[in-house]
Chain A
Amino acid sequence: MLQAFLQNIINGMAQGSVYALVALGYTMVYGVLQFINFAHSDIFMLGAFGGFFLAKWLSPFISNPLILLMAVVIGSMAFCVAVGLTIERIAYRPLRTAPRLNVLITAIGVSLFLENFGQIIFGADPQVFPSLISTHSLLEGEGLVLNNIQLTVVVVSVLLMLILHWIVRHTKLGIAMRAVSFDIEVANLMGIPTDTIILFTFTIGSSLAGAASILYGLSYPKIEPLLGMMIGLKAFVAAVFGGIGSIMGAAVGGIVLGLAESFTVYYVSSTFRDAIAFGILILILLFRPAGLFGTFRREKV
């Protein structure tokens, strides 16, 4: 029983770290602009496809799997950043002074556009994400299995979150981001180039989505244009759970959601997996609308 419990923790952590990485994108944009960037999940999807094509093109030239993986991750992150910035520039910036609801509807529109665009370009048929690194077990004790991909997913996620934490806490850029998040108008008056800071926020959020999409593709090698939908929703739940606007909250929320799902499926039934995820959302909205870490006005980035 203990093994199964530990195994579920491993499985849940791996799944949860992907949620967490995507959740960070939601939470950061929310922190700065106070709206949910629904297109974020589709940036994630585009990242997976970017990685898919990049791996296809690069694999004849790069034989070392580790370098290939690095190249694909960085390439996919760059691609996601380009997409994220384009969306910000075209769809969101013109609405900077418009009511928040308008921006939200625009975000849904962009999301739908990207999904249908993806279906036209890539086809609705799922593609097989290439296995860039071969899977092997690192630990195979009494019924407990941890493979290199799961470990990579968790380690890379934690590493990225630490880097993000450092940027927000200890760099000038981070201070500026926090200032913008605190009050965009006053920050502007203080000479902070708010538009640039917002672009940086999108850059960081989108690059995390790009990294997450490759980690996801490695674990579940089936990608399709509607891939982002469910993950986006789950990540959003994770962000709200942790307290939208809080970086710590998104990280913890993602992991907790991954674990909750894993345990639900194991101890209850797979039928309840999504019910649990969205049940958490409803409970949080009812009893603690600010989420676990989101207190009013505290550290929103």
Chain B
Amino acid sequence: MTTLSVKTVFRLGLMVGIFITLFNTGCVKKEGATSGASSNIASGNEILVGEYGSMTGSESTFGVSTHKGILMALDEVNKAGGVNGKKLVLKSYDDQGQAAEAVTIITKLISQDKVSLILGEVASSRSIAAGAIAQQYKIPMVSPSSTNPKVTQVGDYIFRVCFIDPFQGSVMARFAINNLKLKRAAVFRDIKADYSVGLANFFVEEYKKMGGEIVADVSYASGDMDFKSQLTSIKGKNPDVLFIPGYYTEVGLVARQARELGLKAVLLGGDGWDSEKLTEIGGDAVVGGYFSNHYSHEDQSPVVQNFVAQFKSRYGEIPSGLAAQGYDAAMVAVGAMKRASELSPKAFREAIAQTKNFQGVTGMITINEERNAVKPAVVLKVVGRQKFSYITTINP
């Protein structure tokens, strides 16, 4: 009975196979026709706006912050009389931080809820996946914070109100060389995220162009827990700065393990660091690091301070950059709706494309021909637990 035969073990192997497959198969539902989803905005007193984001999952603070910003913007507009007398109604769904889920949800927003404009996502990989659907149905989509260049290359209905990776990557390269005067950099990229790879590539390009040296360029995959082997190899190269353009969950662990291994380089990153969880996970290890972001709540300009005060009184917390981006995305969209020749997705698209010098919370926004926003970036320093202080603004 207890003999372990070859056959038994093979059967076990098969079981493991099934087990793995069970967990890794995401199902993508395809529904609706390929085109011609009409929106019922002409009739009725409402304009439906769709939103999809990661309300749960490992990047949930991104989705939740953005959602708060969007909600506040739309409420403000509705209180002031809406768009041409019509109320804005937000349809918001959770994509659990999964690209496959984002695709399902955006299809649902378009073909079932019949929204006439969509806001989302934060993560570039999900914006690219879902953007293809928005483009297919010709419903304008405005991403608040996806910085990978490919996002708006999906098609002419896809916009964003943030700067793109080349800019963010080069901002940190310029900051490292001009402000910190550090010329030996190591790059530690998340090969599973378009965002991270994009930032890393442009950092490397700009850094070399400015006379810096890239001493190591290694990778991890989001979801990894142990980074010690890669960090050991980075440590051997003795860099001055370590650029980790990842998301906060991994960055926190990377920073912690880097310090444990005695790696003393200054840590740099992008807006993926922007979460209160960064210091919760990373502890003191991330303190002293710098990252580029869309805005700083310490910025003393009245637009920013007004926004911060309102957000605080509504949610009892200081808005993160992602909340400000969400707010701006919604406001740019609303501004376009008001200017649009008629209330149709097509007219909204035309109007968004013509956005010029729009004063947003995150700076002056102009949409260029590639449907990207041209605007400045700020560099923040992690100074303590959940405390980021404003260092400088870098213009395009």
Interface positions of A (Cβ within 8 A of B): 4, 7-8, 11, 15, 34, 36, 38, 101, 104, 108, 112, 123-126, 128, 131, 135, 137, 140, 143, 145, 147, 181-185, 220-222, 224, 229-230, 233, 236, 240, 244-245, 261-266, 269-271, 273, 281-282, 285, 289-290, 294, 296-297, 300
Contact = CB atoms under 8 A, between A and B. Distances in A.
Nearest to B16: A236
A289 B10 contact: yes
Contacts, number: 133
A270 B230 contact: yes
A100 B231 CA distance: 44
Interface in B155-214: 191
State the majority secondary structure of interface residues on B: helix
Contacts of B60: 124-125
A83 to B, nearest CB: 20
A271 B256 contact: no
B229 interface: yes
Nearest to B9: A289
B275 to A, nearest CB: 11
A265 B9 contact: no
Given A38-B19, A271-B221, 16 more contacts: A11-B226, A15-B226, A36-B12, A126-B277, A143-B236, A221-B281, A240-B12, A244-B9, A270-B220, A270-B221, A270-B224, A281-B13, A282-B13, A289-B6, A289-B9, A296-B4
Contacts of A182: 2
A112 B22 contact: yes
A221 B254 CA distance: 11
Nearest to A269: B219
B58 A125 contact: yes
B260 A183 contact: no
B150 interface: no
A290 B4 contact: yes
Contacts of A245: 4
A7 B252 contact: no
Contact of A281 (B8, B16, B58, B221): B16
B262 interface: yes
A10 B158 CA distance: 49
B236 A233 contact: no
B219 A270 contact: yes
Interface in B1-50: 1-4, 6, 8-13, 15-16, 18-20, 22-23
Contact of B261 (A7, A126, A296): A7
B249 interface: yes
Nearest to A285: B13
B228 interface: yes
B262 A265 contact: no
Nearest to B280: A128
The contact size tier of chain B is 35 or more
B336 to A, nearest CB: 33
Contacts of B23: 229
A116 to B, nearest CB: 11
A34 B2 contact: yes
A10 B9 CA distance: 32
Residue in A36, A185, A244, A285 with the greatest tally of chain B CB atoms within 10 Å: A285
B19 A294 contact: no
B229 A222 contact: no
A244 B22 CA distance: 23
Contacts of B1: 34, 183-185
15 contacts: A11-B226, A11-B228, A34-B2, A104-B15, A124-B60, A125-B56, A126-B277, A147-B260, A183-B2, A184-B1, A185-B1, A233-B16, A245-B4, A269-B219, A271-B221
B283 interface: yes
B309 interface: no
A296 B283 CA distance: 50
B223 to A, nearest CB: 8
B218 interface: yes
Contacts of A36: 12, 15-16
Given A183-B1, A285-B13, A222 B230 contact: no
A104 B220 CA distance: 34
The 4 closest A-B pairs by CB, nearest first: A265-B229, A289-B9, A266-B229, A11-B228
Contacts of A183: 1-2
Given A145-B261, A300-B2, A126 B249 contact: yes
Nearest to B277: A128
B236 to A, nearest CB: 6
Interface string B51-95: 000001110110000000000000000000000000000000000
B56 A124 contact: yes
Nearest to A262: B229
Nearest to A119: B56
B232 interface: yes
Contacts of A184: 1
A40 to B, nearest CB: 12
Residue in B2, B10, B281 with the greatest tally of chain A CB atoms within 10 Å: B2
Nearest to B10: A285
A11 B232 contact: yes
A126 B23 CA distance: 18
Contacts of A143: 235-236, 262
Interface in B231-286: 232-233, 235-236, 249, 252-253, 256, 260-262, 277, 280-281, 283
Contacts of B391: none
B389 interface: no
Contacts of B9: 240, 244, 285, 289-290
Interface in B341-375: none
Contacts of A220: 225-226, 253
Nearest to B11: A101
B96 interface: yes
A34 B261 CA distance: 42
B218 A270 contact: yes
Residue in B1, B18, B57, B225 with the greatest tally of chain A CB atoms within 10 Å: B225
Contacts of B191: 270-271
Nearest to B259: A135
Contacts of B19: 38, 108, 233
